[in-house]
Amino acid sequence: MYYLTAEASFDGAHFLAGYDGKCSNLHGHRWRVILKIKTDKLQSEGQQRGMVVDFGDVKNALKKETDFFDHSFIYEEGSLKEATVAALLAEDFEMHVVPFRPTAENFARYFFDKFKDYGFTVAEVTVYETPNNCASYSED
């Protein structure tokens, strides 16, 4: 089996609604997203002969998906009062609502599915929320 690994990061704020501890308060992370692609045989023809996939394609996908969240406030749908959301938007804050609790575990699954949509044979996605703490998702 061949594996290709690439990485990108983004800075984003979040909080965990309903959590009893520090993470219930708004805070930020430098999120690292590590994408691992697999294949049992390399491409045999064309420009990508001898490759799993073109690193440029992987880097572009990683950049697009991580740049979407960069320097934004990421919050779970239904976790903020409408007035709070309206006030933050009125201040022109970059905000992204997600249909899941914004944890490293859920981001790992989110990015796994996103990269599958690009047609990559994703083996695993790992998301670090701190330099020492990460979560991974794979379907194996």
**Would you list which residues are annotated within the binding site for Zn(2+)?**
14, 27, 29
Q: Which of 7, 65, 71, 77 is catalytic?
A: 71
The binding site consists of 14, 27, 29
Whether 96 is catalytic is no
Type of residue found at 101: R
Q: Does the annotation mark 71 as catalytic?
A: yes
Q: Which of 23, 94, 105, 134 is catalytic?
A: 23
Give catalytic status of residue 65 as yes or no: no
Question: Which of 65, 76, 124, 129 is labelled catalytic?
Answer: 129
Sheet holding 133-137, edge to edge: 95-98, 72-76, 2-14, 27-39, 122-130, 133-137
C-beta atoms surrounding 97 within 10 Å: 14
Cα–Cα separations (whole angstroms), residue 6 to 9, 36, 54, 70, 115: 11, 7, 11, 18, 12
Residues with catalytic roles: 23, 71, 129
